[in-house]
Amino acid sequence: MAKKYFGTDGIRGKVGEYPITADFFLKLGWAAGRVFASEGHGFVLVGKDTRISGYMFESALEAGLTAAGVDTRLLGPMPTPGIAYLTRTLRAQAGIVISASHNPYYDNGVKFFSVQGTKLPDELERKIERHIDSQMTTVESSKLGKAKRLVDAAGRYIEFCKASVPTRLDFSGMRIIIDCAHGATYHIAPHVFSEVGAEVVTIGAEPDGLNINDECGATKPERLAATVLAYRADFGIALDGDGDRLVMVDHKGEIVDGDELIYIIAKARLNVGLMSGPVVGTLMTNLGMEHGLKRLGINLIRANVGDRYVMEMLVEHKGILGGENSGHIICLDRTTTGDGIIAALQIMAEMQDSGKSLHELKSGMQKYPQVLVNVKANKKINPDEDTRIQKAVKAVEKKLGDGGRVLLRASGTEPLIRVMVEGQQEDLVKNYAHQIADDVKKAIEA
């Protein structure tokens, strides 16, 4: 059964537009509290990123949980993976994250973690939804929940991140630039990397509630690239607003995306005999990464776009490493969810062990040109079932052979058909993408 409010990564939207409103979050806190109370006893953690609406939603969730008779521990600004870790290590009943990740400040959302530090099962989300649509009540006064702030949350998570790499490693020779996207890692990441010995220059660490992800961070690494060159740094680290994405910049100012970073970590694990299972990517994972892993003897399997689907496939196939080219990187041998800080530390560890620069490490795989064309669809059409579109796709696939790939998918949020073609020759790839896009337009108009 389809869910009414929860998507693939919680609930998200524009602040002030239903359901991202204070009254909905009050009801959501109460509904979640009712479900958690029925599942057992214990407290719920609530953390947030730095966007201004977080104050409003934190208070609303706290009030709802209290009315349901559930105790709350407030974490304040805390990276999403940090909340997952604390939920697990403190044996909380659940963790709640108030964040819209890489979105602008005027968006917000909420996601939940289980006591294992993983996303909530679908059935629990459905139970919460059923309570949202019922009449809100309040437990008697003697059973109301209590709320208090957890003052040492940041320190606990900092120590956890540092412990994800061996203490024998000395990073004192590294000069690095960290872009915190004016987000939840602003008071975490600089401490982690300086405490493992690196010389740290920090940018994007002055949140004002409105500047989160604004021309900075993992979605806009150009400023980081310029800063790396200006400081002659060894590399740069770009995180997103809630700290679950990582994009890096090498000493030449070249951007290193999630696919390349996953390849580096996979090769490092293989070299020390710790690689287990396949790597899980998505439908958008670059074909160059698939070919690079294949040369190492590592299989790549593809999940639907979204870290939830990557995680499901990792568990199913007993893998330890997966993620997306956008920078969601899941190292299951280190933590339970995508974590930008921990992923960056794994890259740094490999740089130290191999004696190679980030630029040298990424050269093991060659990214293929990837062209995406969006076609407006004013009516619903399934590209997989349209004979004209499939004929065009098959013709291009035949020309590309093993050296390229075609992907068509309908957008889940906009009236668009996305046409993606990748291959070894950029000019050909562009021509093929526009050729298929034209056939899609004709099919829509027919």
SS3 content of the chain, % helix, strand, coil (to 5): 40, 20, 40
Nearest-angstrom CA–CA distance, 226 and 205: 17
* Beta pairing class for 321-323 and 329-331: antiparallel
153-162 and 340-354 are packed helices; what angle lies between their axes, rounded to 10 degrees? 30
80-89 and 340-354 are packed helices; what angle lies between their axes, rounded to 10 degrees? 90
Half-sphere exposure of 303 (CA within 13 A, CB side): 24
- Residue 284 near residue 420 (C-beta atoms within 8 A): yes
**DSSP states of 103-145:** S-TTEEEEEEE-TTSSBPPHHHHHHHHHHHTS------GGG--
Nearest-angstrom CA–CA distance, 278 and 313: 10
Which of these is catalytic: 99, 101, 114, 164?
101
For tokens 């809100």, the residue is 136
- Residue 182 near residue 207 (C-beta atoms within 8 A): yes
* Beta pairing class for 147-149 and 72-77: parallel
- Residue 83 near residue 95 (C-beta atoms within 8 A): yes
* Beta pairing class for 370-376 and 404-410: unpaired
Q: How are strands ordered across the β-sheet holding 321-323?
A: 300-303, 279-282, 321-323, 329-331
Token pair belonging to 402: 């093993």
Annotated active-site residue 101? The verdict is yes
Please state the three-class secondary structure of 144-211 as a single string: CCCEEECCCHHHHHHHHHHCCCCCCCCCCCCEEEEECCCCCCCCCHHHHHHHCCCEEEEECCCCCCCC
Give me the sign of the Cα torsion angle 212, 215, 217, 219. Answer: positive
Catalytic sites, residue numbers: 101
